[in-house]
Structure 1
Amino acid sequence: MSQLPDSEQYEQVEAMLRDEFAGIHPAATVNRCVQAAHHGAVEVTGHAPPSLVERIARKHLQVLATAAAERG
């Protein structure tokens, strides 16, 4: 992934997480989580490598799925 420009790397992260969470979260939710993870990483560390954004976004999506299951 590291040879791609950042925007393409984030698009790959979004695509991978959309596939991983298909049937659990709509694509818009996945995209928002990736954007929020990117913003949070930049705010806290000053940079946002795609691998960090992916880990943060995945954790957010897992928590949302758990919360939805508990409500459901």
Structure 2
Amino acid sequence: MIQHSADEHYEQLEALLRDEFAEVHPPATVTRCVQAAHHGAIEVTGHAHPALVERIARKHLRVLATAAAERG
């Protein structure tokens, strides 16, 4: 079994979310959401499992997309 470092998981996560939200958000926004989700998970739970960071970041990006659509 191949083990990946946490950095690799977050790089893969950012790439996945950049692709998923390419029509909605610039890459920098995705990066900031992943970083914020990582920080928030550590603050609340004491650790940042990549799956948790992914769920939080994706929700943030969806909320931002909804807010942008409502303004536009």
Identity %: 77
| Equivalent position amino acid for 1:50 in 2 | P
Q: CA deviation at 1:3?
A: 1.9
Which residue is equivalent to 1:30? 30
TM-score between both structures, scaled by the size of structure 2: 0.96
Measure the CA separation in 2 of the matches of 1:25 and 1:3: 30
Please give the TM-score of this superposition, normalised by the length of structure 1: 0.96
Does structure 1 residue 5 correspond to structure 2 residue 5?
yes
Paired AA for residue 55 in structure 1: R
Structure 1, unaligned runs of 5 or more: none
Structure 1 residue runs of 4+, over 6 Å off? none
Number of residue pairs the alignment of both structures matches: 71
Q: Any gaps of 5 or more consecutive residues in structure 2?
A: none
